[in-house]
C-alpha cells in the first residue's frame, strides 16, 4: 500500500448558496428516488480513467494523491490506465469492479432507454440511473457523443450500449424513454443542417412510435432555442418565440420546435404519456472542449494562457446551470404528472463579459492553489458577433418550482471550479 493510500486525502468539498455542504444530488419525489452520493458521481466523471504516468518513479505517490482528491474512497472501482509521455500513448484497462449500484426489487426497477446517452447530458443521466439500480440501454451514433463517457458501465448486467442512429426505427421493450439524441452546439448542428432537421423530426417520430407501442413514458429534451432571439424577458413556457426560420441556426431551432409539435401530436392523438423539458445553457464535466460553447471556450483558453474570445460587445446575457441540477430536473419531470413544457435552467444572469472575468478569476484561483500560476494574466478580446446570436436568454422557472418542487442548488462559481479542475486534469493527462 502506497503512502497516498495509507494517509487520507481531503476530498473536494462543495458548499451550496447557504454555506451547507453538498454531499448528495437528487431527491425522492413523485415516488421515484434519485438521490445518490456526490462522491460516487465525481469518481466517474472527474476521473473515469485512473491515469498513472509511466515509468512509475517518485512521481507516483504525488499522482495517487491527486487521484484520491477526486475519487475519494472509490478508486478501486476505476480502470487504472497508464500514460506514456515519451511516446504520447495510453494503455487502457477494463474495470476490475463496477461502481456500486442499488439493488432494487423487480417491481421498482425500470427499463430505461436513453437516446444520445453517450453525449454530455446523456452520460450524466446514465450514471445517475445506473447508480440508482435501473436497467439502462444507451442508443447513440457517436456523431458528437463518445464511448469513453459511459465505458465504465460496459459489461454491467444492467447496462447495454447500442450504436444506432435514431433516424432509423429501433425496437426494444422499455418503461421510460429519455430522448436526448441531437447535436446541440452550433458547429455540430450546422455541420450538416439537413441531417440535424432529419434527426429532430425522424428521430423523434421513431421514438414516439416506440413509446406508443410499448406504452412507455416519453421525455424529449427540447431547448431554450425554441424561443429564438426573445422579445420577452425572462422567457416563460407560454411564450411562442421569435425565431428566424431560414437562418444558420434554424436547422436546430425549428427542428426542436417541430419535435415538440410531433410530441404533442402523439399525446393528443394516440394518448402517449409525454414530457417536454426546455433546457437552457448547461455546463459541466464531459462537455466537448471544442464544440464552440462559451463556457468550454473560456476555460480552455484561460488554462492554456491564451486570450479569451468574447463575440460582440460582451453585453449579451446568458444564464448557466450546472449539470447536476439539470439531471435532477429531468428525472423529476419524467416521474411527475406535468405534461406541459417545463423550462429547466438557472435564473442567475450574467453578461458574457462578466462571465469571462469570472472564469478568468476561477482559473487563476485553481492554478494558484495547485502551485501552477501562469506567467501572465490572460486578456479578454472582442470579436464580431455571429449571425442570429440571441441578445438575452434567461428562464422563468416558476412552473418547475411549482409543479416539480425543483430549483438549482449549484451556483455558477461552484460548478465552474469543478469544471476547471476537470479540464485541467485532462490537459495533464494529455487527452486535451
Please indicate whether residue 252 is annotated as part of the active site.
yes
Residue 386: CB partners within 8 Å, gap ≥ 6? Answer: 186, 311
Please give the Cα distance from 163 to 150 (Å, whole number).
13
The answer to whether the CB of 92 falls within 8 A of the CB of 81 is: yes
> Phi/psi at 278 (nearest 5 deg)?
-95, 105
Please give the Cα distance from 266 to 59 (Å, whole number).
59
Please give the Cα distance from 114 to 262 (Å, whole number).
19
| Catalytically annotated residue among 50, 74, 189, 252 | 252
Residue 402: CB partners within 8 Å, gap ≥ 6? Answer: none
Report the candidate in 273, 291, 417, 289 with the shortest Cα–Cα distance to residue 359: 417
Beta bridge partners of 176: 112, 217
Cell numbers 517518485 label which residue? 58
Is 164 in a helix, a strand, or coil? coil
Measured between alpha carbons, how far apart are the two ends of the chain, in Å?
Answer: 31
CA angle (417 as vertex; 361, 314 as ends), nearest 5: 50
Cell numbers 505517490 label which residue? 61
List the catalytic residues.
252
Amino acid at each position: 500500500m502506497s503512502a497516498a493510500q495509507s494517509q487520507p486525502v481531503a476530498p473536494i468539498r462543495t458548499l451550496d448558496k447557504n454555506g451547507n455542504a453538498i454531499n448528495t444530488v437528487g431527491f425522492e419525489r413523485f415516488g421515484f428516488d434519485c438521490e445518490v452520493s456526490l462522491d460516487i458521481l465525481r469518481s466517474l466523471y472527474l476521473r473515469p480513467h485512473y491515469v498513472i504516468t509511466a515509468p512509475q518513479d517518485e512521481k507516483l505517490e504525488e499522482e495517487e494523491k491527486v487521484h484520491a482528491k477526486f475519487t475519494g474512497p472509490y478508486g478501486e472501482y476505476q480502470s487504472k490506465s497508464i500514460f506514456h509521455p515519451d511516446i504520447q500513448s495510453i494503455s487502457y484497462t477494463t474495470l476490475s469492479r463496477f461502481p456500486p449500484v442499488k439493488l432494487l426489487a423487480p417491481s421498482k426497477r425500470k427499463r430505461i432507454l436513453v437516446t444520445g446517452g453517450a453525449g454530455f447530458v446523456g452520460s450524466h443521466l446514465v450514471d445517475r440511473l445506473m447508480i440508482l439500480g435501473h436497467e439502462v440501454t444507451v442508443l447513440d451514433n457517436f456523431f458528437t457523443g463518445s464511448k469513453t463517457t459511459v465505458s465504465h458501465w460496459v459489461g454491467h448486467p444492467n447496462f447495454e450500449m447500442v450504436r444506432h442512429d435514431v433516424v432509423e426505427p429501433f425496437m426494444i421493450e422499455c418503461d421510460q424513454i429519455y430522448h436526448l439524441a441531437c447535436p446541440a452546439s452550433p458547429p455540430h448542428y450546422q455541420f450538416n443542417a439537413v441531417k440535424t432537421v432529419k434527426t429532430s423530426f425522424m428521430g423523434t417520430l421513431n421514438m414516439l412510435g416506440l413509446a406508443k407501442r410499448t406504452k412507455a413514458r416519453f421525455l424529449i429534451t427540447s431547448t431554450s432555442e425554441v424561443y429564438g432571439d426573445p422579445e420577452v424577458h425572462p422567457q416563460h413556457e407560454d411564450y411562442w418565440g421569435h425565431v428566424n426560420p431560414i437562418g444558420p441556426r434554424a436547422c436546430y431551432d425549428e427542428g426542436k420546435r417541430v419535435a415538440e409539435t410531433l410530441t404533442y401530436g402523439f399525446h393528443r392523438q394516440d394518448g402517449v404519456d409525454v414530457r417536454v423539458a426546455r433546457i437552457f445553457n448547461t455546463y459541466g464535466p464531459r462537455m466537448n472542449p471544442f464544440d464552440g460553447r462559451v463556457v468550454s471556450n473560456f476555460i480552455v483558453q484561460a488554462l492554456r494562457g491564451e486570450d479569451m474570445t468574447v463575440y460582440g460587445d460582451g453585453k449579451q446575457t446568458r444564464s448557466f446551470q450546472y449539470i447536476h441540477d439539470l439531471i435532477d430536473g429531468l428525472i423529476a419531470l419524467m416521474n411527475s404528472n406535468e405534461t406541459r413544457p417545463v423550462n429547466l435552467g438557472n435564473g442567475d444572469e450574467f453578461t458574457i463579459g462578466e462571465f469571462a472575468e469570472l472564469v478568468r478569476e476561477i482559473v487563476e484561483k485553481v492554478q494558484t492553489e495547485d502551485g501552477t500560476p501562469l506567467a501572465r494574466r490572460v486578456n479578454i478580446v472582442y470579436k464580431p458577433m455571429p449571425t442570429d446570436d440571441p441578445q438575452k436568454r434567461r428562464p422563468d422557472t416558476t412552473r418547475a418550482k411549482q409543479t416539480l418542487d425543483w430549483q438549482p442548488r449549484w451556483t455558477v462559481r461552484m460548478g465552474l471550479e469543478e469544471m476547471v479542475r476537470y479540464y485541467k486534469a485532462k490537459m495533464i493527462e494529455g487527452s486535451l
